[in-house]
Amino acid sequence: MSSVTLTDVGLVYPNGTVGLEGINLAIADGEFVALVGPSGSGKTTLLRAIAGFLAPSSGSISLDDTVVADSRRSVEPEKRGLGMVFQQHAVWPHWSVERNIAYPLVLAKVPRAERAARVAEVMALVGLAGFGKRNPATLSGGQRQRVALARAIVGRPRVLLLDEALSALDEPLRDSLRLELQSLTRSIGLTVVHVTHDRAEALALADRIVVLDGGRIQQVGSPVELVTRPVTAAVARFLSDATLFTGRRDASGFVADGHPCAVPTEWIETGGVGGHGTGTLAVLPEDVALRPGTGAATDAVVTSSLYGRASNDVIVQWQGVAVRSRVPGRRYLVGERVVVEIGRAMFYEAEANEGALPVASVPVTAR
Ligand code: ADP
């Protein structure tokens, strides 16, 4: 178990593409951190830099108090003491489950008797007790992913790195493995860095979430902080499907540019720096209520309506803006005319959206 510290990490690929820029992040011992962001935002690059497959061009990466990479040197991946699980379970098909799991211990020259005991121990941990002699080809996708997980933790890694490790699995298996992964990593106090494109998974599993965009950190925070207090309009849109309106805010409220959306000041929270002038209003789907009817200024039509257990997921075309609504109540039908009512919104002054805001990189106390 171990902490991971990234200090001013920048990474430029040989072709000049900027993979990471100005990354400052301190992951506490025992913390479960999820990396999320749009495709191409730098999630994989960051994970690979921690793993040692990529060397930073600037800055440094430390595991506990040991610098494992800076612009001059980079400790090889196999000497960093990390465990890794990828999307495609890289399990050797001709080896038994037991032999697959034992492999890292063979490499580490752990004596045979201890090896057997440790393999049995992790097989029980990941729910594979009794499967030792099986050929991986006879297992389900979820079981094979458990083999990959067991192999990643059998060497008692300092940090577990997960790269879309659950993404290839179908629901509801994925859902149950998520729960197991969480209780397993907690019970053994593992530090975990988990890359996922699945926002719900990140919110469900992580102590803290790191939102990346353009190789930079946009925000770091607990799931609740990210959902209720996104620091940029882009984070609100990416994580929570917020609808964005550009316009102007003054003492009386917000008025959109060339659009009838207007929100009085008492319903607006200031998300970014400052709070008046031109900028972006972000409205979470939970704060958009619909009612039947039409109005000159509110002419809107339902273009998509998906049933949900807690609330329906509805998209309304409101004079050129696709507004997302997710509130309990009756299910509106595609084609119905509705009035959009905004209950709460967050305003971000124009400058606050340009590039990343400075964010605290101090870890929360791990569980
Ligand atoms: P993500 O995992 O969030 O989808 P990546 O970390 O893969 O994003 O990519 C970050 C940026 O680095 C993107 O602009 C991507 O095109 C670029 N990139 C990734 N791998 C390479 C590579 N081997 N050579 C050049 N550019 C790359």
Q: Are 214 and 39 in contact (CB under 8 A)?
A: no
Residue minimizing CA distance to atom 21 of ligand 1:
13
Neighbours of 214 (CB within 10 A): 16
SS (H, E, C) the chain: CCCEEEEEEEEECCCCCEEEEEEEEEECCCCEEEEECCCCCCHHHHHHHHHCCCCCCEEEEEECCEEEECCCCECCHHHCCEEEEECCCCCCCCCCHHHHHHHHHHHCCCCHHHHHHHHHHHHHHCCCCCCCCCCHHHCCHHHHHHHHHHHHHCCCCCEEEEECCCCCCCCCHHHHHHHHHHHHHHHCCCEEEEECCCHHHHHHHCCEEEEEECCEEEEEECHHHHHHCCCCHHHHHHHHCCEEEEEEEECCEEEECCCCCEEEHHHEEECCCCCCEEEEEEECHHHEEEEECCCCCCCEEEEEEECCCCCCEEEEEECCEEEEECCCCCCCCCCCEEEEEECCEEEEEHHHHCCCCCCCCCCCCCC
Mutate to test the pocket of ligand 1, among 13, 36, 54, 213 (most ligand atoms within 8 A of CB): 13
CA of 163 to the centre of ligand 1 (A): 14
Euclidean distance between CA atoms 75 and 58, whole angstroms: 15
User: What is the block-wise mean pLDDT of the chain (367 residues), using blocks of 10 residues?
Assistant: 91 97 97 96 97 96 96 92 83 91 93 94 89 92 88 92 86 82 88 94 95 96 93 92 95 94 89 73 94 78 94 95 94 94 92 44 36
Q: What is the pLDDT of residue 297?
A: 62
* Topology of domain 237-353, CATH: OB fold (Dihydrolipoamide Acetyltransferase, E2P) (2.40.50)
CA of 322 to the centre of ligand 1 (A): 30
Q: What is the pLDDT of residue 361?
A: 34
Q: Are 85 and 165 in contact (CB under 8 A)?
A: yes
Residue minimizing CA distance to atom 18 of ligand 1:
19
CA of 217 to the centre of ligand 1 (A): 15
- Fold agreement between 4-227 and 237-353: no
Q: Which atom of ligand 1 is found nearest the CA of 17? A: 26
Residue 99's contacts (CB-CB under 8 Å, 6 or more residues apart) are: 92
> In terms of Cα–Cα distance, which of 318, 206, 215 is closest to 262?
318
Q: Are 42 and 30 in contact (CB under 8 A)?
A: no
Place of tokens 């990234």: 6
Tell me which architecture the domain covering 4-227 has in CATH: 3-Layer(aba) Sandwich (3.40)
CA angle 83-92-117, nearest 5°? Answer: 60
CA of 139 to the centre of ligand 1 (A): 33
**Any idea where the domains of the chain sit in the sequence?**
4-227, 237-353
